[in-house]
Copies of this chain bind each other. A is one copy, B any other.
Amino acid sequence: MYLEQINESADVKKLNVEQLNELAAEMRKALLQKLSKNGGHFGPNLGMVEATIALHYVFNSPTDKIVFDISHQSYSHKMLTGRKEAFLEEAHYRDVSGFTDPKESPHDFFTVGHTSTSVSLACGLAKARDVKGDSENIIAVIGDGSLSGGEALEGLDFAPELNSNLIILVNDNDMSIAENHGGLYQNLKLLRDTKGAAECNLFKAMGLDYLFVEDGHDIEQLINALTQVKDSKKPVVVHICTQKGKGYDFAEKNKEPWHYCGPFDLETGTAAVTMTEEDYSDITVAYLLKKMKEDRTVVGITSGTPAVMGFTEEKRKEAGSQFVDVGIAEEHAVAFASGIAANGGKPVYGVYSSFLQRTYDQLSQDLCIDSNPATIIVYTASVYGMNDVTHLGIFDIPMISNIPSLVYLAPTTKEEYLAMLEWSISQKDHPVAIRVPGGRVVSNGKAVTTDYSEINRYQVTKKGSKVAIIALGTFYELGSRVAEEIAKKTGSEPTLINPVYITGTDDKLLEELKANHDVVVTLEDGILNGGFGEKIARFYGDSEMKVLNYGLKKEFLDRYDVEKLLQENRLTVGQIVEDVMKIQ
């Protein structure tokens, strides 16, 4: 086995082309094995085996520095840089993350999980090299799907200003997670169709040199091209054509669902676990499709991740022109939504909490200053969301809830979520974001008909005394259990409150609580700093009321265990009750 002999770039260089092809076969086999047992980014990794081999054959990592965009295609790179055991031995599968990580290896330069960053980061590495007087090669790898992101386009535009070595490997598999959207993809097609010869060339129009490689799975072609640009004194794009999911028939034929996979049966391609429980994607798409039929001005928007809203290929067809995938372009998505709202349409943009981070300025400037009535659905904004350090959903409350005009709602059940969507789409006064609850869907079957127009009106769901528990969104259930436990222990029923609104305080209610309460507990599913509970603490700052805020510590967590994390943050019923009893 060649793979067993490889620990760094130097070892790759010892092999001839035939042996490199053998190596590719071994690597693809290992990838398939691991992915079938462990899940992960399937399509992107299967497509980058040969290109990664060629990169390490031509360049000398880590002196030469390779930066992977999103880095969800870096498994092959990990295999070739001292981490092969994590792909060959099941006991070591979880030794490595699914992304590049400088803590894991000196061959990784950044912890990356968001799209469209590699060119800019690589420009920085190159600039530092130049001011230091060094001369290594800097390589940015970027997929075609990521090219539509503003940061990538800014990076491509800036790169020529360096006027020194930078190699941008554009891995064009003619797919984003779903199909690509954006005018530039017509140009990529033109370049593929003309084998790179077309005069009209996005990269050249950005001031970059350009080289085309027809078969991005042909190691010899790749080596020739990369050798040609090695030590280039100018930024140059190497445009390679690859196939997503290469080497696995099911994935080659059905690319979108095979972008990322859970464990599956290698023979049949069938998922090992089938999700049968309804989730918020199903709930959203069912609601929106119905709404779109009733009202042609309702427009669903995704920025390259339609599945999180439940919009599979089939559902997208059903929605027709009322569903818009803007491609990976979160900034545009928010401004676009604002424009739709400003002209009387009803935009609904669904986005992961972590990717919403791209839109702070658009939320503030393009949407909220004019209070345009767009609806934003924020997914996986929870400790129960994604747990890679690059995909955390625990920062959105401090990020967006302090933007004026925005109404950020925290539903606690399916029915509340639907009522909030209904209200948000129908009203004309506020930009509204809705924080989809984390964990299992809580549903009691009772339709909610609340009119949410009375902004910042909290709901007292159980009237009690002494202790008031304000339990936000996902953590409402936790609050409810804490209330029960306190009642049991003290014989006195606490007040339980569903605050509904993340973006403001119900000053009248908070004031009233002073009459017969002496402790207020806040619970929120996110970091405490800059969040919801601190506003309650500020409100009571000059009073006798004691306030206990519960939520997460401000930190970058990585692949955490939820229960352990909750324990560490004193977020269990027992711990909270213990704290309350201490000051009661």
Contact = CB atoms under 8 A, between A and B. Distances in A.
Contacts of A187: 205-207
- Interface size grouping (class) on chain A: 35 or more
A366 B125 CA distance: 13
Given A124-B341, A339-B125, A361-B358, A131 B321 contact: yes
B158 A182 contact: yes
Nearest to A133: B296
Contacts of A583: 542
B530 A128 contact: no
B342 A109 contact: yes
Interface string A321-339: 1101011010110011111
A281 B294 CA distance: 57
A114 interface: yes
Given A122-B339, A124-B347, A102 B370 contact: yes
Interface stretch (A13-21, A460-468, A476-484, A531-539): A531-539
A462 to B, nearest CB: 22
Contacts of A205: 184, 187, 200-202, 205
A261 to B, nearest CB: 24
B534 A542 contact: no
Contacts of A159: 183
A581 to B, nearest CB: 12
A310 interface: no
A401 B529 CA distance: 9
Interface stretch (A76-84, A148-156, A212-220, A420-428): A148-156
B398 A530 contact: yes
B150 A151 contact: yes
A221 interface: no
Contacts of A38: none
Interface in A128-144: 128-133
B538 A533 contact: yes
Contacts of A527: 402
A439 interface: no
Contacts of A181: 158, 161
A508 B527 CA distance: 21
A377 interface: no
A395 B202 CA distance: 37
Contact of A120 (B148, B149, B331): B331
Interface stretch (A445-453, A492-500, A547-555): A547-555
A209 to B, nearest CB: 10
A61 B514 CA distance: 55
Given A154-B331, A530-B531, A123 B342 contact: no
A299 B345 CA distance: 46
Interface in A158-217: 158-161, 181-187, 199-202, 204-208
Given A102-B370, A369-B111, A402-B527, A339 B556 contact: no
A574 interface: no
A131 B345 contact: yes
A75 interface: no
A556 B158 contact: no
A432 to B, nearest CB: 16
A128 B340 contact: yes
Contact of A299 (B120, B131, B202, B531): B131
A296 B112 CA distance: 28
Contact of A336 (B123, B148, B327): B123
Nearest to A187: B205
A392 to B, nearest CB: 9
Given A132-B343, A358-B361, 17 more contacts: A110-B339, A120-B331, A122-B339, A124-B343, A125-B340, A127-B339, A128-B299, A132-B296, A153-B154, A157-B182, A159-B183, A182-B206, A187-B207, A355-B361, A357-B360, A357-B365, A402-B531
15 contacts: A65-B343, A109-B343, A110-B342, A124-B339, A132-B343, A132-B344, A149-B154, A150-B154, A160-B186, A183-B207, A401-B530, A534-B534, A537-B540, A538-B549, A543-B546
Cβ-closest 4 pairs across A and B: A124-B339, A150-B150, A183-B207, A128-B345
